Amino acid sequence: MGLKLEFWDEGDAVISKWLPQKGYEGFMDVLHGGIQATMLDEIGNWAVQLRCKTAGVTSSMEISYRRPVLISSGEITLRATIVESGTRIALVKAELIGNDGKLCASALIKYFLFNPQKASETYFYPGADAFYEN
């Protein structure tokens, strides 16, 4: 089934737009919190791949659910920025923003980074330029 997210550069952030569907419902008309967590982690990982120019895996993730994401409210926006980055660890701030522009959920995510050679050889990381259409 998949979430079928697409990603774009927007200044220092990576963003995605997504239209919630009833199949991802937790409570009636509310997007399941696990789906929200998955999307926050996904947009965070894209920020790592594009901004840190390597692959990484989630080490820890702290989520704050602030408002329900109503499926009937329409399209949401995901946004991620690198807070800090070193050779082995990146800290990413990810946000889920409702159709009304209000913050619904946020996460502070720590990623363990692979060195670029290992990312390429072991995890098939194609390089940041491969994520852009020609």
pLDDT of residue 133: 74
This prediction's pTM? 0.95
Q: In the structure, how many helices (H) and strands (E) does the chain have?
A: 2, 6
**Residue-by-residue DSSP string for 42-70:** HHHHHHIIIIISS-EEEEEEEEEE-S--B
Residue 132 banded pLDDT, cuts 50, 70, 90: confident
Environment class of 15 (CB within 10 Å of its CB; exposed 0-12, middle 13-18, buried 19+): buried
The whole-chain average pLDDT of the chain stands at 95
The span from the CA of 132 to the CA of 134, in Å, is 6
pLDDT at 120: 95
Domain boundaries, given as residue ranges, for the chain? 13-125
Q: How far apart are CA 51 and CA 40, in angstroms?
A: 16
Superfamily of segment(s) 13-125: Hotdog Thioesterase (3.10.129.10)
Q: How far apart are CA 64 and CA 108, in angstroms?
A: 9
pLDDT of residue 134: 65
**CA–CA–CA angle 79, 84, 89 (5° rounding):** 105
Give per-residue pLDDT as tens, 52-111.
999 999 999 999 999 999 999 999 999 999 999 999 999 999 999 999 999 999 999 999
